[in-house]
């Protein structure tokens, strides 16, 4: 920890590396008390160590907290100064007695309390959920910022190929068509804020970042949602899909239920139609790869059916629900996404895409009519044209915030008892 009470009652904060003399002087003023639980603490310092206070081994803090690394200490200190410099009321390592928790930083902004947690070590989802819930119970919002060193990514410019595991998936917040997350690197004093996340598989994700220095970023601009998908991102996603169609048979096994099903129907992955496996808004709510869940729908609803076939709404809901029950389609558990409770939103988003791209006709009574045969292998040149059409369409789909907000309302109503309303 970076704060401790001195015997004089003064709250002392370590704000930087200290000289040997300063460390000596500070040691003279022991004992140090934990500002949260008031137990005695040690001052740890050395030539290679960032000075900090720590609880004695046999007396751990009764307020929940994380093991401290240098990266974490430097990060929360940098964030604390950054907030203070903007005139924001901030308390470092604030103990919150009513919930027995200690926030890395607690700020008060426009009369509201916000806990800022700079999370550098993986914690189980249950612990995360418990902490978030107790903050909410105390009327405190919480902003989780990921330690950048936890982010495994390869990148060109601002577009990153990121591997997001179940821990990293706890960070995205916001209720838009795509969530957003913030990572911070104390080594370079740089924020990485995602402006769009397009998941490709349970872990593999294409993320576009806005990268900004600590000094040129304000807290207000950091937490404001500012989302957009770029055409290069969609193209890259579709390119990954083409690669998958070409090469996935190499690692396909019969133990994998998806490949087994394709195999039994004599469909190689390359024959999956262009319209199955499309990056649609809200797809992050499903952990299963969009290539898979959309292909399952294609198999259950459209495969081998001629144009003109009528498909009822309840049939669509049923096949999707069956796949969920069977475990073929798995939902994603995010940290803080209220609409995550409705698994039909991404399904509705995909149906909307199919209607708007001319594959389905939607009727007022909630029925759909198949407008074309889903062509497995397109003629030369056709594939390219379809892809370009799709990129254009998806770009406008994502950028229309009104459509995206409506998807939730309409999607919920549609699967209750409404029409697609397009």
Contacts to Zn ion by CB under 5 A: 34, 36-37, 61
According to DSSP, the β-strands at 112-119 and 141-147 are: parallel
CB nearer to Zn ion: give 55 or 323: 55
Q: How far is the CB of 59 from Zn ion (least distance, A)?
A: 8
DSSP 182-238: EEEETTTTEEEEEEEEEESSSSEEEEEEEEEESTT--HHHHHS------HHHHHHHH
CB nearer to Zn ion: give 7 or 308: 7
Q: How far is the CB of 36 from Zn ion (least distance, A)?
A: 4
3-class SS at 1? coil
Q: How far is the CB of 272 from Zn ion (least distance, A)?
A: 56
Which of 211, 101, 88 minimizes the C-alpha distance to 148? 211
Judged on CB neighbours under 10 Å (0-12, 13-18, 19+), 280 is buried
3-class SS at 369? strand
CB nearer to Zn ion: give 37 or 347: 37
Which of 191, 95, 83, 174 minimizes the C-alpha distance to 140? 95
Q: How far is the CB of 46 from Zn ion (least distance, A)?
A: 22
CB nearer to Zn ion: give 53 or 80: 53
Which residues are paired to 311 by β-bridges? 368
CB nearer to Zn ion: give 32 or 219: 32
Which of 285, 282, 201, 304 minimizes the C-alpha distance to 243? 201
Torsion of CA 104, 109, 112, 115, to 10 degrees: -10
Q: How far is the CB of 413 from Zn ion (least distance, A)?
A: 50
CB nearer to Zn ion: give 36 or 83: 36
Q: How far is the CB of 209 from Zn ion (least distance, A)?
A: 36
């Amino acid at each position: 920890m970076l704060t401790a009470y001195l015997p004089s009652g003064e709250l002392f904060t370590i704000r930087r590396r200290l000289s040997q003399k300063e460390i000596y002087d500070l040691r003279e003023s022991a004992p140090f008390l934990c500002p949260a639980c008031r137990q005695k603490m040690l001052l740890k310092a050395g030539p290679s160590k960032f000075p900090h206070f720590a609880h004695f081994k046999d007396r751990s803090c009764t307020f929940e907290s994380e093991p401290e690394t240098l990266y974490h200490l430097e990060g929360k200190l940098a964030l604390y100064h950054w907030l203070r410099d903007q005139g924001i009321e901030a308390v470092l390592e604030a103990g919150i007695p009513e919930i027995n928790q200690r926030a890395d930083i607690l700020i008060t902004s426009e009369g509201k309390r916000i806990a800022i947690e700079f999370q550098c070590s993986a914690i189980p989802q249950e612990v995360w959920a418990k902490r978030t819930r107790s903050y909410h119970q105390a009327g405190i919002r919480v902003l989780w910022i990921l330690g950048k060193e936890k982010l495994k990514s390869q990148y060109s410019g601002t577009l990153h190929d990121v591997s997001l595991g179940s821990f990293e998936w706890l960070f995205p917040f916001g209720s838009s068509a795509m969530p957003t997350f913030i990572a911070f690197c104390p080594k370079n004093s740089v924020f990485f804020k995602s402006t769009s996340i397009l998941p490709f598989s349970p872990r593999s994700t294409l993320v576009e970042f806005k990268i900004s220095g600590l000094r040129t970023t304000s807290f207000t601009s950091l937490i404001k949602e500012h989302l957009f998908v770029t055409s290069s991102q969609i193209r890259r996603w579709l390119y990954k899909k083409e690669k998958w169609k070409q090469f996935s048979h190499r690692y396909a096994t019969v133990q994998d239920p998806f490949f087994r099903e394709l195999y039994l129907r004599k469909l190689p992955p390359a024959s999956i139609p262009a319209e199955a496996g499309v990056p649609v808004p809200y797809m992050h709510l499903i952990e299963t790869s969009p290539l898979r869940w959309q292909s399952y729908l294609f198999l259950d609803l459209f495969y081998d059916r001629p144009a003109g076939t009528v498909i009822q709404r309840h049939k669509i809901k049923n096949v999707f629900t069956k796949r969920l029950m069977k475990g073929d389609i798995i939902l994603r558990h995010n940290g803080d996404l209220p609409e995550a409770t409705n698994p039909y939103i991404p399904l509705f988003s995909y149906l909307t895409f199919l209607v708007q791209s001319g594959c389905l006709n939607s009727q007022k009574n909630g029925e759909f009519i198949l407008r074309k045969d889903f062509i497995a292998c397109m003629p030369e040149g056709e594939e390219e044209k379809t892809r370009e059409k799709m990129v254009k369409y998806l770009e406008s789909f994502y950028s229309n915030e009104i459509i995206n907000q409506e998807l939730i309302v309409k999607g919920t109503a549609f699967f209750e008892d409404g029409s697609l309303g397009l």
